[in-house]
Structure 1
Amino acid sequence: MLQTLFTCIGWLGVVFCTLGYFLLSVKIIKADSLIFQLLNIIGGLCLVTIALESDDMPNAVANLLWMFIGLYALGRQLRTQANASKK
C-alpha cells in the first residue's frame, strides 16, 4: 500500500514537470508564469520524495535543485510584483 502511494507521487511529479515543460514549449505559458513555477516546484518535490524512498541520491539531488530553482524564481517574481505595486 505504501509503495503504491510512493509510485503515485512519483508519477505525479513526472506529469507536473513534463506538463510545465510542454506548456512552456508550445508557448501556452511563459517561464515567468506562476503556473510554470508551481508545476516545477511541486513536480520536483514529488520526484525528490520517490527518489529518497528508493535511495536514488543523484536523482534526489537533481530534483531538489530543480525545485529550489523554481522556488528562487517564484520568490524573485513575487518580490518584483510587490515592488511594482508599491510604486
Structure 2
Amino acid sequence: MNIAEAIGWTGAILYIIAYFLLSIGWIKAETTFYHLLNILGAIGLIINAHYLDDFPNIIVNLVWLGIGVLAIFMLIKKNQTLEKQ
C-alpha cells in the first residue's frame, strides 16, 4: 500500500465514522466536529483520487469539502450572532 492509498482509506474511514456517529445520535450535524470529519475525509479521498487520476471522484469530494467548509463558516457566524444577543 502506498501513501496515497493509505490516505484514501483514512478518508473513507472518516466518512464512515462521521455518518455512523450521526446515525446513532452520538453527534449532531450542527457540530464542527461532524463537519471536520467530513472535510478530512474529503481531503483524504481527493488525494487518493488525484493519485489515481479519478477526476469524477475528485470533483465529488471537492464539492463535499466545500459543503463542509461552508457549514463550519455558517456555524461560526451563527455562534457569533448568538453571543451578541
TM-score by length of 1: 0.93
Percent identity between matched residues is: 35
Encode CA deviations 1:2-58: one digit per residue, 9 max, x unaligned. Answer: x61111100110011110000001111001111100000110011011101110000
The corresponding residue for 1:10 is: 8
Aligned residues: 85
List structure 1 segments (4+ residues) > 4 angstroms apart after TM superposition: none
1:73-84 to structure 2, matched below 5 A, reads 73-84=71-82
Distance 1:65 1:78 in 2: 20
Q: Does 1:67 align with 2:65?
A: yes
1:31-46 to structure 2, matched below 5 A, reads 31-46=29-44
- Aligned-residue CA RMSD in angstroms? 1.0
Report the 3-state secondary structure (helix = DSSP H, G, I; strand = E; otherwise coil) of the residue aligned with 1:30.
coil
Report the 3-state secondary structure (helix = DSSP H, G, I; strand = E; otherwise coil) of the residue aligned with 2:2.
helix
TM-score by length of 2: 0.95
Structure 2 unaligned blocks of 5 or more: none
Residue 81 of structure 1 deviates from its aligned partner by 0.3
